[in-house]
């Protein structure tokens, strides 16, 4: 039963002659006549307000009159005492001064108490606001009672609470009054008026034992300060949020206050009508009435009956309508403009997350997600959080929704610490920063990314950052960040460095850029049934690069043995390992050779089609998996501990290299010998001779090799014929056994290499000394060189040609093997690049334009090994389809050129000249015999080598000489690699291909053939580096020719290579692998080139010469039985064991450094060369007796029998 119903049923209620309901109880000393006392409550407020206002005005008036009447006294004279020395001082005994100081101190204290500058002030302000809202809630509760009623203060709980609140408000009012500078304006403030009409009536109600609802609704005006309170609490920080809360608080407070006034007058009635025209309306009905009135709807179901109510509605509808029409649309706009992606990331337990920022677009995000979330990876339990200051468009938003289970987007900037906190950067596994590869100002883009790195590292120094950089020289700025540490996983992927490095490696082994790009990109396997070149290419594309720790079964074995076992037995291609030196420093060794023995916990780099396949290297156990022929059955076993213990006992006996006790071995790393410090070290050494000890370990390793096949030694000829097979002559560290050339270099007091020993070096040269005119270039008769056609001018951004030259000047080439580099382009642009090129030998410049055929003919472009087309103007054009116009025009221009063959191969043979690629003077078992060699003379022909021999020759006869020599040769046979910015422009490079314009770049013919390269393929390196930072190290080692973090620091200091004297330490850096292409038409592998198995070639090259084969560069139409075949080649990555070879194949291999190749000029004709330039220049083939072909057929039959035993 409500209070109102209870009052109506109570017999003690008296009805006055005015018919006004006044609740009355005998227990409450209230007026029994029913007389209303509302005027007393209102009078208390009015007297307080006007009385205080009168006192303030009276004080100001008196003060003004005192100032006017007593003008002389108004000037406060400061009593000064003149001292003897004439110095004035203030009289400290002045009572006025002390009085002002006391008032000031109290005023300051009160100001501090009510301000939000201190903790006490903030607590007080928040408390006052909270109590005001509490008083408003009490009003809402009491609004269901009559407007005026008799109540006992000691029995009414809400009245007691309201009294306590108002006592606190009174004290706070006093503090505000003391702290106010202008008392008059303070008295007229809204908060003061609210206190006048709400605080005194409470005290009156206690005195009269009756309650009047009255003007307590004015407490709703306190809501106007809601935004200030939230700002004091640091909840509101943005202008939009402050404005939104201000609008909402003003609107709501005005609405509730107006509803309270209507509730008062409608439930009371008009005084001049003797309160007879009142109506019963609840407070919330009044709220409803005010809303429909403001919105001008006015349904009419609730309306005002009193004159006061209607008069108020007339004025309120004017102001309320204006407020509604202006505030509501603005509130809706602010709410609509709020960041849709402005929340915070909630981390999930057990799930890592990374933050991706920088250049966030549909293209960059789709490329990143396609590679990061590829199905070939293990289960990617990583959530990707994108942070960007621009909201995504509809396409990008749809992409996020398709990956909503693993992708979230938040709008913000990494330069704002608040946004970094929103994405939980402190708990993120890594932060990846994407760069805009197509920006007009690469330096500005790099500066933006460097600032992002600084901001993130400043917020959380331990976070791992992987960032893309466009320019190589800007990487030096990252070294200035104190918390940047590449040893802890921080990496900078320089697109210019890797792009030009890939292109440079293609000059050494054409097609390598395509192969490497496909290896670190995740591609799904596309099966093609037809016997086309796409079938074999896509089978290779499905391979990726992975890392996995090697099983303990491999410990103590040499790298070639493990590599062969992994390829034959596990169907994995091992190309490198992470080796720990004596100082426990890790280094990546690519095909290190026999002198490196595997340690426990060695990390291997594998080429495979799936991450699950690589697990075989970790699970392999000789005892359990020796007789398994299906590699898919190799699973984890439980006998590793016993095998490891038995192996340690053998390792304690002697060292494989020197036959000494392992404790005394000097050729073994310390971290391997440290295995001695184990419980097994008390096992006594076996009393055997050194030879027996060495034989024991050799027998043990042969047992490991027996996993390949019982007939493996017979089939491969064993290790006896290998120059590196014997432990006594096994290839050691050059520091221990330097070659003759190294000894000579150490004796000479000449700087031939840079200070790190990684690159060839020469004293700086002026650019005028390397400039060639057309006539000088033509007289030079360049051949076997590299022509770089570059577009750029004085305003173009530098692309960093040093990154292109450095791989071609790596020290693992001998000086005579270096290809001459000729730049054709604008001299103004090349002058800007020359500062970083002047220390490299064999570099020339022909000022001109790549579109001029006269310039191209002057540099003998038809005789070059490779023509590279670059442009520094690609990012200055808005139209994406026109970004590559210069490169495309130059490529088509070269291909349409015709050249005279002044010296053909047939004429050369008649004069006794043998093309270098066909030289047979080197021994059959030479590791360099059969490699495509560097051309030292001009052959006059540039048609690629014949790829098919006459199949119908009879035994004893010679094959006819087949020649492609013509009077005119076309520019289509010139090896060209063109850099592209826009992937879709690849369709314009080859007019005779059938590529669809919408075909992905890696599926197009120019990319598969290695004649086109786009920087977009490097996007995959971001995710590859995140999952395994060793992959980037390996790619950088392969591509840059040996750039190290130490070298980057040196370049950051001097911006140029520093020459250094040859020392054993620097010369040892030359002993590293390099990529080469092995020709099968001649040399020790010629018997495998005609129908042999790739696996046999792999094993023979690895065992005999420590060459690691990893792919094939095959003619496009090699699978067709056609006399006229296309000269284009394509890349096949990691073919299977049984893959059939053809004589025209070029094999990608990792070749060991040859210490003896540079001892004399006689080795020049046998020196290894990394491209098939000579095959391009040789237009005919020597006659080959058909008896060799018969022998090859016999050898194939024997190999087929052996392969059956291997796979049995």
What pLDDT, on the 0 to 100 scale, is given for residue 877? Answer: 66
CA distances from 373 to 224, 354, 376, 611 (A): 51, 13, 9, 13
Confidence band of 30 (pLDDT split at 50, 70, 90): low
Confidence band of 438 (pLDDT split at 50, 70, 90): confident
Q: What is the mean pLDDT of residues 405-422?
A: 93
CA–CA gap between residue 583 and residue 123 (Å, rounded): 60
Q: What is the mean pLDDT of residues 11-15?
A: 40
Span 1132-1167, pLDDT tens digits: 999 999 999 999 999 999 998 887 766 544 333 333
* Contact by Cβ (8 Å): 771, 845: yes
What pLDDT, on the 0 to 100 scale, is given for residue 940? Answer: 30
What pLDDT, on the 0 to 100 scale, is given for residue 98? Answer: 45
What pLDDT, on the 0 to 100 scale, is given for residue 379? Answer: 65
pLDDT above 90 (res 384): yes
pLDDT above 90 (res 431): yes
Span 1173-1194, pLDDT tens digits: 333 333 332 333 333 434 444 4
What pLDDT, on the 0 to 100 scale, is given for residue 456? Answer: 96
CA–CA gap between residue 72 and residue 51 (Å, rounded): 32
* Contact by Cβ (8 Å): 304, 313: yes
What pLDDT, on the 0 to 100 scale, is given for residue 995? Answer: 63
Determine the longest span between alpha carbons in the chain, in angstroms. 145
CA distances from 747 to 742, 744, 1060, 1063 (A): 9, 5, 14, 9
What pLDDT, on the 0 to 100 scale, is given for residue 441? Answer: 87
* Contact by Cβ (8 Å): 491, 1029: yes
Pair of tokens at residue 1170: 């990394």
| 129 burial type by CB count under 10 A (0-12 exposed, 13-18 middle, 19+ buried) | middle
Helix axes 559-568, 690-705, angle to 10 degrees: 20
Confidence band of 433 (pLDDT split at 50, 70, 90): very high
How many Cα atoms sit within 13 Å of 743 on the Cβ side?
7
Q: What is the mean pLDDT of residues 813-835?
A: 93
Q: What is the mean pLDDT of residues 737-749?
A: 45
Q: Which of 422, 364, 428, 358 is nearest to 396 (CA)?
A: 364
pLDDT above 90 (res 573): yes
Pair of tokens at residue 84: 């003897």
Confidence band of 505 (pLDDT split at 50, 70, 90): very high
CA–CA gap between residue 625 and residue 233 (Å, rounded): 68
Confidence band of 435 (pLDDT split at 50, 70, 90): very high
CA–CA gap between residue 1146 and residue 801 (Å, rounded): 28
CA–CA gap between residue 304 and residue 432 (Å, rounded): 65
CA–CA gap between residue 385 and residue 372 (Å, rounded): 13
Confidence band of 1122 (pLDDT split at 50, 70, 90): low
What pLDDT, on the 0 to 100 scale, is given for residue 112? Answer: 77
Q: What is the mean pLDDT of residues 983-994?
A: 80
What pLDDT, on the 0 to 100 scale, is given for residue 767? Answer: 94
Which phi and psi angles does 156 have, rounded to 5°? -95, 110
Domain boundaries, the chain: 101-336, 340-489, 548-716, 916-971+1072-1206
What pLDDT, on the 0 to 100 scale, is given for residue 31? Answer: 55
Percent of the chain scored above 90 by pLDDT?
Answer: 29
What pLDDT, on the 0 to 100 scale, is given for residue 490? Answer: 92
What is the rounded (10 degree) CA torsion for 95, 98, 103, 105? -170
CA–CA gap between residue 648 and residue 732 (Å, rounded): 24
Whole-prediction pTM: 0.69
* Contact by Cβ (8 Å): 1008, 537: yes
How many Cα atoms sit within 13 Å of 204 on the Cβ side?
23
Strand residues in 632-737 grouped as ranges (E): none
Q: What is the mean pLDDT of residues 505-520?
A: 91
* Contact by Cβ (8 Å): 355, 428: yes
Rg (CA), the chain: 45
CA angle 321, 323, 324 (to 5 degrees): 65
- The 10 Å CB-count burial string (b at 16+, else e) for 589-613 is bbbbbbbbbbbbebbbbbbbbbbeb
What pLDDT, on the 0 to 100 scale, is given for residue 1121? Answer: 66
Range with the lowest mean pLDDT among 55-59, 170-174, 215-219, 629-633?
Answer: 629-633
Span 689-718, pLDDT tens digits: 333 333 333 443 444 444 343 333 333 333
pLDDT above 90 (res 674): no
Segments in 674-801 forming alpha helices (H): 690-705, 712-716, 740-747, 774-780
pLDDT above 80 (res 27): no
Q: What is the mean pLDDT of residues 814-832?
A: 94
What pLDDT, on the 0 to 100 scale, is given for residue 619? Answer: 87
Q: What is the 3-state secondary structure (H, E, C) of 985-1009?
A: HHHHCCCCCCCCCCCCHHHCHHHHH
Q: Which of 205, 174, 278, 274 is nearest to 45 (CA)?
A: 205
Pair of tokens at residue 1146: 């070029």
Looking at per-residue confidence, does 1204 or 495 come out higher? 495
CA distances from 364 to 211, 358, 415 (A): 71, 10, 21
- The 10 Å CB-count burial string (b at 16+, else e) for 196-231 is bbbbbbbebbbebbbbbbbbbbbbbbbbbbbbbbbe
**DSSP string computed for 60-110:** HHHHHHHHHHTHHHHS-PPPEEE-TTS-EEE-TT-HHHHHHHHHHHHHHHH
Interacting residues of 166 by C-beta distance below 8 A, sequence separation 6+: 135, 198, 199, 202, 203
CA–CA gap between residue 1098 and residue 1149 (Å, rounded): 9
CA–CA gap between residue 624 and residue 78 (Å, rounded): 108
pLDDT above 80 (res 972): yes
What pLDDT, on the 0 to 100 scale, is given for residue 906? Answer: 33
What pLDDT, on the 0 to 100 scale, is given for residue 354? Answer: 94
Span 1011-1026, pLDDT tens digits: 999 988 898 899 989 9
CA–CA gap between residue 976 and residue 789 (Å, rounded): 10
**CATH number for the segment(s) 340-489:** 3.40.50.720
Beta strand pairing call for 382-388 and 352-358? parallel
Q: Which of 275, 281, 165 is nearest to 219 (CA)?
A: 165
Which residues does residue 759 pair with via DSSP β-bridges, in sequence order?
A: 810
* Contact by Cβ (8 Å): 166, 198: yes
């Amino acid at each position: 039963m409500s209070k109102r119903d209870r009052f109506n049923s109570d017999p003690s209620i008296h009805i006055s002659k005015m018919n006004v309901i006044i609740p009355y109880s005998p227990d409450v000393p209230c007026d029994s006549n029913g007389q209303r006392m509302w005027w007393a409550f209102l009078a208390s407020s009015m007297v307080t307000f006007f009385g205080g206002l009168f006192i303030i005005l009276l004080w100001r008036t008196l003060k003004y009159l005192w100032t006017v009447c007593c003008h002389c006294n108004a000037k406060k004279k400061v009593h000064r005492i003149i001292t003897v020395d004439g110095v004035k001082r203030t009289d400290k005994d002045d009572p006025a001064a002390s009085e002002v100081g006391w008032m000031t101190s109290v005023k300051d204290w009160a100001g501090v108490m009510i301000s939000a500058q201190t903790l006490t002030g903030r607590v007080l302000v928040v408390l006052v606001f909270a109590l005001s809202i509490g008083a408003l809630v009490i009003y809402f509760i009491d609004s269901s009672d009559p407007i005026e009623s008799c109540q006992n203060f000691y029995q009414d709980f809400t009245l007691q609470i309201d009294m306590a609140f108002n006592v606190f408000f009174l004290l706070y009012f006093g503090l505000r009054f003391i702290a106010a500078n202008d008392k008059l304006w303070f008295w007229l403030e809204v908060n003061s008026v609210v206190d006048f009409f709400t605080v005194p009536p409470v005290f009156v109600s206690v005195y009269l034992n009756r309650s009047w609802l009255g003007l307590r609704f004015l407490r709703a005006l306190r809501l106007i300060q809601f935004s200030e309170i939230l700002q004091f609490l640091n909840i509101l920080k943005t202008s939009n949020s402050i404005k939104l809360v201000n609008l909402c608080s003003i609107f709501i407070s005005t609405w509730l206050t107006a509803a309270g006034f209507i509730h008062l007058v409608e439930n009371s009635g008009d005084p001049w009508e003797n309160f007879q025209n009142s109506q019963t309306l609840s407070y919330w009905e009044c709220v409803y009435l005010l809303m429909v009135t403001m919105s001008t709807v006015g349904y009419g179901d609730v309306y005002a009956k009193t004159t006061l109510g209607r008069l108020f509605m007339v004025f309120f509808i004017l102001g309320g309508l204006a407020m509604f029409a202006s505030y509501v649309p603005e509130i809706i706009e602010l709410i609509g403009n709020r960041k849709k992606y402005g929340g915070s990331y909630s981390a999930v337990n057990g799930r890592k997350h990374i933050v991706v920022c920088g250049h966030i677009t549909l293209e960059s995000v789709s490329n990143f997600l396609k590679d990061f979330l590829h199905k070939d990876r293990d289960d990617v339990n990583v959530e990707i959080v994108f942070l960007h200051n621009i909201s995504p468009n509809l396409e990008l938003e749809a992409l996020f929704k398709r990956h909503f289970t693993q992708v979230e987007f938040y709008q913000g900037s990494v330069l704002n610490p608040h946004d970094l906190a929103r994405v939980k950067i402190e708990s993120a596994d890594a932060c990846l920063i994407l760069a805009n590869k197509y920006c007009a100002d690469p330096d500005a883009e790099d500066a933006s990314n460097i600032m992002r790195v600084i901001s993130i590292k400043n917020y959380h120094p331990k976070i791992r950052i992987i960032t893309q950089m466009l320019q190589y020289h800007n990487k030096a700025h990252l070294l200035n960040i104190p918390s940047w540490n590449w040893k802890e996983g921080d990496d900078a992927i320089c697109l210019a460095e890797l792009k030009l490095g890939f292109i440079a490696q293609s000059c050494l082994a054409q097609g390598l850029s395509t192969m490497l790009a496909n290896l670190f990109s995740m591609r799904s396997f596309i099966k093609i049934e037809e016997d086309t070149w796409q079938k074999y290419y896509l089978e290779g594309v499905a391979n990726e690069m992975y890392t996995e720790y090697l099983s303990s079964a491999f410990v103590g074995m040499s790298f070639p043995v493990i590599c062969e076992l992994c390829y034959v037995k596990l169907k994995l291609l091992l190309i490198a390992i992470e080796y720990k030196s004596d100082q426990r420093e890790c280094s990546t060794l690519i095909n290190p050779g026999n002198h490196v023995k595997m340690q426990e916990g060695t990390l291997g780099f594998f080429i495979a089609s799936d991450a699950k396949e690589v697990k075989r290297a970790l699970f392999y156990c000789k005892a359990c998996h020796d007789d398994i022929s299906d590699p898919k059955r190799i699973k984890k076993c439980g006998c590793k501990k016993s095998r490891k213990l038995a192996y340690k006992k053998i390792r304690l006996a002697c060292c494989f290299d020197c036959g000494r006790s392992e404790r005394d071995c000097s050729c073994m790393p310390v971290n391997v010998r440290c295995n001695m410090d184990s419980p097994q070290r008390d096992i006594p050494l076996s009393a055997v001779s050194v030879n027996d000890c060495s034989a024991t370990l050799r027998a043990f390793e042969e047992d490991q090799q027996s996993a390949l096949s019982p007939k493996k030694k017979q089939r491969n000829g064993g290790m006896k014929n290998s120059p590196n097979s014997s432990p006594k002559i096994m290839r050691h560290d050059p520091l221990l056994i330097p070659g003759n050339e190294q000894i000579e270099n150490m004796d000479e007091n000449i700087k031939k290499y840079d200070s790190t020993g990684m690159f060839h070096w020469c004293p700086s040269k002026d650019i005028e000394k390397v400039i060639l005119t057309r006539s000088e270039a033509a007289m030079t008769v360049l051949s076997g060189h590299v022509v770089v056609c570059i577009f750029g001018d004085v305003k173009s951004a530098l692309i960093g040609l040093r990154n292109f030259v450095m791989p071609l000047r790596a020290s693992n080439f001998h000086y005579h093997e270096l290809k001459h580099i000729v730049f054709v382009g604008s001299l103004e642009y090349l002058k800007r690049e020359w500062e970083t090129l002047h220390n490299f030998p064999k570099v020339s410049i022909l000022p001109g334009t790549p579109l001029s055929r006269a310039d191209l003919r002057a540099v003998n472009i038809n005789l070059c090994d490779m023509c590279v087309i670059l442009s520094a103007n690609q990012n200055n054009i808005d139209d994406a389809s026109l970004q590559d116009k210069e490169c495309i025009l130059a490529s088509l221009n070269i291909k349409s050129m015709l050249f005279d063959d002044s010296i053909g191969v047939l004429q050369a043979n008649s004069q006794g000249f043998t093309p270098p690629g066909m030289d047979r003077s080197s021994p059959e078992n030479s590791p360099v015999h059969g490699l495509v060699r560097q051309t030292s003379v001009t052959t006059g022909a540039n048609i690629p080598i014949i790829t098919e021999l006459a199949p119908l020759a009879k035994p004893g006869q010679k094959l006819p000489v087949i020649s492609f020599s013509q009077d005119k040769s076309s520019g289509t046979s010139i090896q060209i690699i063109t850099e592209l910015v826009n992937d879709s422009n690849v369709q314009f490079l080859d007019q005779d291909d059938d590529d669809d314009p919408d075909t992905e770049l890696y599926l197009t013919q120019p990319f598969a053939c290695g004649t086109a390269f786009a920087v977009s393929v490097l996007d995959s390196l971001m995710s590859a580096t995140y999952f395994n930072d060793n992959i980037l190290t390996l790619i950088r080692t392969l591509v840059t020719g040996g750039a190290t973090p130490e070298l980057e620091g040196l370049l950051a200091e001097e911006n140029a290579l520093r020459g250094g004297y040859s020392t054993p330490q620097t010369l040892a850096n030359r002993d590293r692998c390099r990529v080469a292409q092995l020709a099968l038409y001649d040399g020790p592998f010629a018997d495998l080139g005609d129908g042999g198995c790739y696996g046999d070639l792999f094993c023979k090259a690895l065992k005999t010469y420590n060459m690691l084969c990893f792919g094939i560069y095959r003619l496009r139409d090699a699978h067709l039985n056609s006399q006229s075949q296309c000269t284009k080649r394509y890349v096949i990555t990691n073919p299977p064991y049984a893959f059939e070879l053809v004589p025209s194949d070029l094999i990608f291999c990792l070749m060991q450094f040859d210490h003896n190749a540079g001892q004399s000029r006689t080795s020049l004709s046998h020196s290894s060369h990394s491209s098939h330039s000579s095959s391009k220049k040789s237009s005919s083939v020597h006659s080959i007796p058909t008896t060799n072909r018969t022998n090859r057929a016999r050898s194939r039959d024997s190999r087929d029998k052996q392969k059956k035993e291997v796979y049995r």
